[in-house]
């Protein structure tokens, strides 16, 4: 909600009245309900400008992108009659205020837009914009990655804090709060995490050197830059944003069920949400609390082939199984021997439980657990027990945010303590099963994928090319190929689990920090990350990327592709914006 409020204060508005719209539903070549040309004095016609239209009183905003001729166009079936407000996102440009425009009934509306260059673009910058602007080494800039877990980089970089003022603040944020905390809605941990004072001092020193603490004129000592706007195929898209009813909602994971209904898990509170994309109607279901003393909120959500919705209940150390027909939960809580004050059950793999009646999950740190749904018996596995530290991993480790020289630093971008095994740091994060319900673990504090054989329990390791690549989350396709994100290496990868061969692709922009990967039915791989507010589509055959600019600051986590319709549809939650976003490519 913080991000949404900042945007609304900073965006200039153009209004129009849409009394009637004509044309046939469908693609980009049908009659437009609203169209126009985007042109500035500095550039002339502008390609890659995201134009958003939101009807008064509605919770739904629709966005399109201007093409190489500067033309934007909303299909007739996307805007119903009514009064709309227009906003743009254009990297350093904004709209001046404009009056309303009346549209004659039965005709398309034409509104040309004339953005002006902003004297101070800071209020409209993404985290990636800040990271390409601030001075410093790659290692220094990586210190900022923890910040964007809970809030935008605007807060530290627009602040006036000195190093001495930052140090207790950073210590409190890293050590005392959960990583689903937001400004105005912090959640304290039951057991604070250890924080390395030397590392805190290093972060505080760097951030205070690039914020406004030494400024005499309220400006930064470095020029503010923005990423180049989208061009080409990335402009052929329709993006729909659905606002959620609670302004502090954090839709961390969003998936769709076989009926096309979107489901989201609230990262900060005990709710599972249901969104009807046709109407925008939202219904939220309170999730039972298992451990009242622990922070509230959920992370993973999955919809299986039977329509059952599964929720990973995070600090509540349980799995929720929700029946949409009865609207009832069945809760599977970790047994006492697997639960500690630090336990975080944030990930699981439930989609192949029909194979053997079992689901995979984590207990935090280096332990994987498997639950037999019939007997409710738990068993544990330790995928890292035989690993050895590599010299290149130990060298990379010291540069990461929050990292210390001993055991148990908070992991970059999570605040979760890692676990050391034979000198190497590890953290169970993404869990994905194949068609035989073998489990694949993404080691977020390392470089490898680990496989647990469902029948024998044997462990196999598949390392990525770069040390400390930080595999995060991913998904398995129909050919048992594991697609996953390498958060620290700025890459996505595909492991063919049948051959053991791994392929990798580097992101087209720096500081993407991809979080997750999903494959669509046309063979394209989709990803996105915390920093750039861009969705990225990879053609694995050619290695080419298409980027799609999101209209708002989004803080992307889980990515999901619905393959049921004529075209694949990409879904994501705006974790800091209390909204769910649908991206529909038109090619």
The DSSP element (H or E) to which 5 belongs, if any, is helix 2-10
Using one digit for the tens of pLDDT, what is the confidence trace for 552-578?
998 899 999 999 999 999 999 999 999
Beta strands in 108-250, from DSSP E residues, in sequence order: 109-110, 116-117, 237-243
Query: What is the distance between the alpha carbons of residues 6 and 10, in angstroms, rounded to a whole number?
Result: 6
Handedness of CA 202, 203, 207, 208 (dihedral sign): negative
Exposed, middle or buried: residue 506 (CB in 10 Å: 0-12, 13-18, 19+)? middle
Highest mean pLDDT out of 147-156, 192-201, 518-527 = 518-527
- Give the rounded percent of residues in the chain with a pLDDT score beyond 90: 75
Q: What is the pLDDT of residues 165-185, one digit of tens each?
A: 999 999 999 999 998 898 888
552: nearest Cα among 89, 9, 35:
89
Q: pLDDT tens-digit profile of 184-215?
A: 888 999 989 889 999 999 999 999 999 999 99
CATH superfamily, region 232-585: YVTN repeat-like/Quinoprotein amine dehydrogenase (2.130.10.10)
Q: 3-class SS at 203?
A: helix
Chain position carrying tokens 């804090």: 161
Give the CA angle between residues 250, 284, 244 to the nearest 5°.
45
DSSP one-letter code for 324: T
Bridge partners, 262 (sequence order): 256, 275
Q: What is the pLDDT of residue 98?
A: 61
**Exposed, middle or buried, 306 (CB in 10 Å: 0-12/13-18/19+)?**
exposed
What is the rounded distance in angstroms from the CA atom of residue 295 to the CA atom of residue 346? 13
* Residue extents of the structural domains in the chain: 9-122, 123-210, 232-585
H or E element in which residue 199 lies:
helix 197-210
Tell me whether domains 9-122 and 232-585 share a fold: no
Task: Grade residue 9 by pLDDT with cuts at 50, 70 and 90.
Answer: very low
pLDDT at 389 over 70: no
Identify the band that residue 391 occupies on the pLDDT scale cut at 50, 70 and 90.
Answer: low
pLDDT at position 220: 96
CA distances from 445 to 194, 245, 254, 347, 408 (A): 17, 36, 25, 15, 11
pLDDT the model gives residue 139: 87
DSSP H helical ranges for 290-362: 353-356
Give the residues across from 410 on adjacent strands: 417
Task: Write the CB contacts of 572 (distance below 8 Å, at least 6 apart in sequence).
Answer: 254, 528, 535, 554, 556, 557, 558, 559, 560, 580, 581, 583
* Superfamily for domain range 9-122: Carboxypeptidase-like, regulatory domain (2.60.40.1120)
Rounded to whole angstroms, how far apart are CA atoms 563 and 163? 49
């Amino acid at each position: 909600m913080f991000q949404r409020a900042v945007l609304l204060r900073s965006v200039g508005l153009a209004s129009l009245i849409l009394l009637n719209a004509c044309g046939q539903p469908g693609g980009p070549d049908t009659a437009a309900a609203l169209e126009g040309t985007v042109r500035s004095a500095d550039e002339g016609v502008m390609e890659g400008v995201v134009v958003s239209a939101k009807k008064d009183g509605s919770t739904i905003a629709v966005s399109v992108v201007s093409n190489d001729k500067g033309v934007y166009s909303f299909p007739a079936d996307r805007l119903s009659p009514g009064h709309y407000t227009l906003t743009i996102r254009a990297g350093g440009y904004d709209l001046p205020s404009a009056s309303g425009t009346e549209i004659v009934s039965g005709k398309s509306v034409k509104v040309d837009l004339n953005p002006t260059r902003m004297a101070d673009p800071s209020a409209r910058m993404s985290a990636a914009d800040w990271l390409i602007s601030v001075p410093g080494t790659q290692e220094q800039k990586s210190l900022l990655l923890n910040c964007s877990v809970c809030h935008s980089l605007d807060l530290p970089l627009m602040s006036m804090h000195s190093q001495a003022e930052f140090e207790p603040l950073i210590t409190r944020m890293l050590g005392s709060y959960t990583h689903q905390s937001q400004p105005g809605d912090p959640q304290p941990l039951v057991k604070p995490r250890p924080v390395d004072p030397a590392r805190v001092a290093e972060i505080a020193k760097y951030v205070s050197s690039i914020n406004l603490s030494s400024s005499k004129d309220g400006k930064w000592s470095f020029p503010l830059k923005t990423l180049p706007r989208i061009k080409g195929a990335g402009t052929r898209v329709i993006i729909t944003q659905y606002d959620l009813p609670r302004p502090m909602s954090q839709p961390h994971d969003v998936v769709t069920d076989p009926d096309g209904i979107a489901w989201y898990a609230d990262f900060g509170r005990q709710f599972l949400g249901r969104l009807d994309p046709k109407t925008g109607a939202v219904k939220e279901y309170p999730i039972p609390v298992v451990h009242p003393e622990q922070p509230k909120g959920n992370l993973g959500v999955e919809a299986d082939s039977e329509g059952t919705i599964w929720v990973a209940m995070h600090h509540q150390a349980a799995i929720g199984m929700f029946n949409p027909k009865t609207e009832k939960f069945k809760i599977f809580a970790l047994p006492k021997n697997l639960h500690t004050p630090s336990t975080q059950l944030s990930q699981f793999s439930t989609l192949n439980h029909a194979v053997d009646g079992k689901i995979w999950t984590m207990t935090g740190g280096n332990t994987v657990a498997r639950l037999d749904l019939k007997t409710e018996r738990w068993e544990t596995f330790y995928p890292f027990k035989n690993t050895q530290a590599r010299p290149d991993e130990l060298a990379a480790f010291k540069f990461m945010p929050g990292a210390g020289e001993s055991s148990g630093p908070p992991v970059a971008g999570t605040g979760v303590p890692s676990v050391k095994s034979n000198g190497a740091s590890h953290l169970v994060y993404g869990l994905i099963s194949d068609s035989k319900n073998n489990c694949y673990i993404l080691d977020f504090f390392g470089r490898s994928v680990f496989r647990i054989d469902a029948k024998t329990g044997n462990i196999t390791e598949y390392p990525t090319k770069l040390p400390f690549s930080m595999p995060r989350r991913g998904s398995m396709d129909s050919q048992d190929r594991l697609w996953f994100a390498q958060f620290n290496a700025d890459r996505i990868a595909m492991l063919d689990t049948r051959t053991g061969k791994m392929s990798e692709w580097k992101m087209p922009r720096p500081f993407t920090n991809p979080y997750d990967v999903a494959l669509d039915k046309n063979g394209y791989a989709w990803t996105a990350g915390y920093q750039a507010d861009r969705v990225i589509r990879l053609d694995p055959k050619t290695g080419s990327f298409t980027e799609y600019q999101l209209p708002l600051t989004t803080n992307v986590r889980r990515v999901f592709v619905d393959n049921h319709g004529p075209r694949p549809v990409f879904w994501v939650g705006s974790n800091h914006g209390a909204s769910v976003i649908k991206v529909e490519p038109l090619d």
